[in-house]
Chain A
């Protein structure tokens, strides 16, 4: 009997191909919107996570001043010294690398071209803490660090702007009054999750920058990389205690520095994108619901339009439940067909859009299955009412219907 009803429904759908297609359109759009939104959202979350990981894993960032917030001021807090970095390395266990960092915006000149960028002064540990890889050349020797030699490792963007296709290693760049030898080239990282170009950078020994560019002994930031398997929370607490001690902060005074854990940032950011994904998915789900109501509309119209046909079927000897199941199956077949087309469309759209947005494409079987099941359920729910109405028609009245 079910097979018969399926046969009847398929015949009916084929008979009204255009109407069937239009009916399904709402579901197609709804399903593909839900799947595309969620897939892109997941991809974006993953992209954020990857970018934060590129900042450096297990990284603690120590800055002067209190954590930013209302009524709190970071100005006036004393900067760090190189000795603070040394103290962390010596006194706290489980530390992989500590990099004292200063930054300075400069204009760099190579022959006729110039480029505004940011110079980072640090030590060789900086490449470890910030997950930099070299595309060519080398990092500084300790002797160069100690002597404050004018050597630098440049980022990919700086290389592209100043050297073009040439190999920059061994070349010279001019920064203000001094010239600086390029000893290494950083491998490209791309945009950070905050939208800034991470490759637009020049790294020099800390002492070089302090002497020639900032003119003081201050260190703005300490980058601390914790060994794998060591709790970053514990390291964070130890660093806080050590810094309070070194900065002579009394027991009832607030910290005048802060320690940030990149893992926390990662969690916060991916949490945000997750919320956005859910939101977008929910909006798309509303469109799926609207698609379902579209199916109900068309089915109701088609019951009215096909009243005579239903009368014929009933007169011929169709049972109420046969007419009911015919209409119900018709609705379910239509909506699941729409769901299927939606899944296919969403897959194509997701692959295409994630390519355009430079985020990874992640196939999410859960949302695909869920959307499809939901579309079929919509067929049952929104098809039932019209089907019920069709089945309960009086055959005499139905036959008389014009």
Chain B
């Protein structure tokens, strides 16, 4: 899996190994401040989140853990701009997401976020190639650009030669790879993974986690992953534990579990010794942000022009 091989054809290429361009003191990628979420009304009122503060920087790999009902799914929905908080502020690169309209949030998802789900959520009876092309179709990319980018993304997740296969003709692990390819084909800033290994056996799970970790390392895609498996959380370099709608603990590196082996030891190498991931390329949103404190800066514009 070589990021460079596909970079030229991708719409917004981010090359592995580029110098980090995130300016010091810049706005964090994600900042949650006092986020609450209440469902229902009156007697049936239920507070899923009760004041969550969380900051995630570009290039991080965060595992979100917690028992069911702890609010981890709710926070993921809010982070994924699928839902809005009842109160509190969610800044995505300085933009107040809670102030965006539904279409604006859709555009934010389209341009900056990639999703991977537990149930893969691929379109049935649709080839891997077409599944991966879908987000590009909504972006209005040309057919040629779509084909090239989708092929490159599929190659990146190790599915060369499987472009024509439909989900029914692929194994679970392969389906999840297609889903990952679909999530990264647009070169998102953030990959949101909701129990990506929940439906997979342990060997395949490790393969998928390797792939996600690699994408985080090599493409600098920030990964936010919900999981309830310690083993999978061990791939992350930061673990946020939720309980009763609040962040209970937020620690890094992950706790030493049962022997993760050579691969995991490498993953747990202190951050400083790993080349810093490049900042994602931020394009200004195609709409004005009402009341946004910051605006999207095109970070590393020179490097993009160089690659284009």
* Residues of chain A whose beta carbon lies under 8 Å from any beta carbon of chain B: 1, 4, 7-8, 11, 15-16, 308-309, 311-322, 395-396, 399
Query: Which applies to chain A's interface (DSSP): helix, strand, loop or mixed?
Result: helix
Q: Complex Cα distance A174/B144, Å? A: 90
Within the complex, what minimum Cβ distance (angstroms) separates B179 from chain A? 10
Within the complex, what minimum Cβ distance (angstroms) separates B59 from chain A? 22
Contact A317 B135 (CB under 8 A): yes
Contact B77 A317 (CB under 8 A): no
| Residues in A whose Cβ lies below 8 Å from that of B113 | 317
Q: Complex Cα distance A396/B192, Å? A: 14
| Residues in A whose Cβ lies below 8 Å from that of B137 | 4, 7-8
Contact B134 A319 (CB under 8 A): no
| Residues in B whose Cβ lies below 8 Å from that of A396 | 77, 82-83
Q: Does B123 contact A (CB under 8 A)?
A: yes
Q: From residue 146 to 192 of chain B, which have CB atoms closer than 8 A to chain A?
A: 182
Within the complex, what minimum Cβ distance (angstroms) separates A95 from chain B? 78
Q: Which of A309, A319, A395 has the most CB of B within 10 A?
A: A395
User: Contact check: which of B109, B130, B138, B182 meets A4 at CB < 8 Å?
Assistant: B138
Known: A4-B140, A313-B134. A320 touches B102 (CB 8 A): yes
11 further A-B pairs in the complex, CB-CB below 8 A; given A7-B137, A312-B122, A315-B115:
A4-B138, A11-B130, A15-B125, A309-B123, A309-B124, A315-B121, A317-B107, A317-B113, A317-B139, A320-B103, A396-B82
Going nearest first, the 7 A-B pairs with the smallest beta carbon separation are A317-B110, A317-B109, A316-B135, A312-B121, A15-B125, A319-B106, A395-B82
Q: Complex Cα distance A7/B134, Å? A: 11
Q: Does B92 contact A (CB under 8 A)?
A: no
Look across to chain A and name the residue whose beta carbon is closest to the beta carbon of B111.
A317
Within the complex, what minimum Cβ distance (angstroms) separates A388 from chain B? 15
Contact A319 B123 (CB under 8 A): no
Within the complex, what minimum Cβ distance (angstroms) separates B2 from chain A? 26
Q: Complex Cα distance A4/B135, Å? A: 12
Contact A1 B117 (CB under 8 A): no
| Residues in A whose Cβ lies below 8 Å from that of B106 | 314, 317-320
Within the complex, what minimum Cβ distance (angstroms) separates A269 from chain B? 57
Look across to chain A and name the residue whose beta carbon is closest to the beta carbon of B105.
A317
| Residues in A whose Cβ lies below 8 Å from that of B124 | 309
Q: From residue 89 to 111 of chain B, which have CB atoms closer than 8 A to chain A?
A: 102-103, 106-111
Within the complex, what minimum Cβ distance (angstroms) separates A10 from chain B? 12
| Residues in B whose Cβ lies below 8 Å from that of A315 | 80, 82, 109, 115, 121
Known: A1-B140, A7-B137, A396-B83. A319 touches B103 (CB 8 A): yes
Contact A316 B126 (CB under 8 A): no
Contact A316 B109 (CB under 8 A): yes
Known: A308-B121, A312-B121. A318 touches B138 (CB 8 A): yes
Q: Which of B106, B111, B130, B135 has the most CB of A within 10 A?
A: B106
Q: Complex Cα distance A320/B109, Å? A: 13
Within the complex, what minimum Cβ distance (angstroms) separates A120 from chain B? 75
| Residues in A whose Cβ lies below 8 Å from that of B134 | 312-313, 316
| Residues in A whose Cβ lies below 8 Å from that of B123 | 15, 309, 312
Q: Which of B83, B125, B137 has the most CB of A within 10 A?
A: B137
Within the complex, what minimum Cβ distance (angstroms) separates B234 from chain A? 27
Q: Which of A7, A318, A320 has the most CB of B within 10 A?
A: A318
Look across to chain B and name the residue whose beta carbon is closest to the beta carbon of A315.
B115
Within the complex, what minimum Cβ distance (angstroms) separates B60 from chain A? 22
Within the complex, what minimum Cβ distance (angstroms) separates B197 from chain A? 18
| Residues in A whose Cβ lies below 8 Å from that of B110 | 316-318
Q: Complex Cα distance A38/B297, Å? A: 66
Q: Complex Cα distance A8/B140, Å? A: 12
Look across to chain B and name the residue whose beta carbon is closest to the beta carbon of A321.
B103
| Residues in B whose Cβ lies below 8 Å from that of A316 | 109-110, 115, 134-135, 138, 182
Within the complex, what minimum Cβ distance (angstroms) separates B282 from chain A? 16
Q: Complex Cα distance A318/B115, Å? A: 13
Within the complex, what minimum Cβ distance (angstroms) separates A281 from chain B? 40
Q: Complex Cα distance A321/B134, Å? A: 16
Contact A317 B82 (CB under 8 A): no
Q: Complex Cα distance A320/B126, Å? A: 22
| Residues in B whose Cβ lies below 8 Å from that of A313 | 134, 138
Within the complex, what minimum Cβ distance (angstroms) separates A50 from chain B? 55
Look across to chain A and name the residue whose beta carbon is closest to the beta carbon of B134.
A316
Within the complex, what minimum Cβ distance (angstroms) separates A16 from chain B? 8
| Residues in A whose Cβ lies below 8 Å from that of B130 | 11
Within the complex, what minimum Cβ distance (angstroms) separates B82 from chain A? 5
Within the complex, what minimum Cβ distance (angstroms) separates B190 from chain A? 13
Q: Complex Cα distance A395/B192, Å? A: 15
Within the complex, what minimum Cβ distance (angstroms) separates A233 from chain B? 71
Within the complex, what minimum Cβ distance (angstroms) separates B38 from chain A? 15
Look across to chain B and name the residue whose beta carbon is closest to the beta carbon of A11.
B130
| Residues in A whose Cβ lies below 8 Å from that of B117 | 399
Q: Complex Cα distance A316/B80, Å? A: 10
Look across to chain A and name the residue whose beta carbon is closest to the beta carbon of B77.
A396
Look across to chain A and name the residue whose beta carbon is closest to the beta carbon of B103.
A319
Within the complex, what minimum Cβ distance (angstroms) separates A316 from chain B? 5
Q: Complex Cα distance A164/B104, Å? A: 88
| Residues in A whose Cβ lies below 8 Å from that of B115 | 315-316
Q: What string of 1s and 0s marks CB contacts (under 8 Å) between B249-266 and chain A?
A: 000000000000000000
Q: Complex Cα distance A314/B108, Å? A: 12
Q: Which of B111, B130, B138 has the most CB of A within 10 A?
A: B138
Contact A319 B107 (CB under 8 A): yes
Look across to chain B and name the residue whose beta carbon is closest to the beta carbon of A7.
B137
